[in-house]
Amino acid sequence: MTEVAFHFGAPDKLGYACRLLRKAVGSGAKVLVVADEVDLQQLDADLWAMSSTDFVPHCSNTADIFVQQKCPVVLASQIDSVLDQKQVLVNLAQTVVEGFEKFMRVIEVVSTDDRDRDLARLRWKHYTALGYTITRHDLTLQGTN
Residues 6+ apart with CB under 8 A from 131: 1
Do 2 and 107 form a contact (C-beta atoms < 8 A)? no
Residue 145: is its pLDDT beyond 80? Answer: no
* pLDDT for residue 126: 98
The region, left, alpha or beta by phi > 0 then psi within -120 to 50, assigned to residue 137 is beta
* pLDDT for residue 116: 97
Q: What span, in angstroms and rounded, lies between the C-alpha atoms of 97 and 109?
A: 13
Q: For the chain, give me the number of helices (H) and strands (E)? A: 5, 7
Residue 14: is its pLDDT beyond 60? Answer: yes
Radius of gyration, CA atoms only, the chain? 14
pLDDT confidence bin for 84, thresholds 50/70/90:
confident
Q: For residue range 25-63, what is the model confidence (pLDDT) as tens digits? A: 999 999 999 999 999 999 999 999 999 999 999 999 999
* pLDDT for residue 80: 82
Domains of the chain, each with CATH number or no CATH: 3-142 (3.40.50.10110)
Listed range (45-49, 61-65, 89-93, 111-115) with the worst mean pLDDT:
61-65
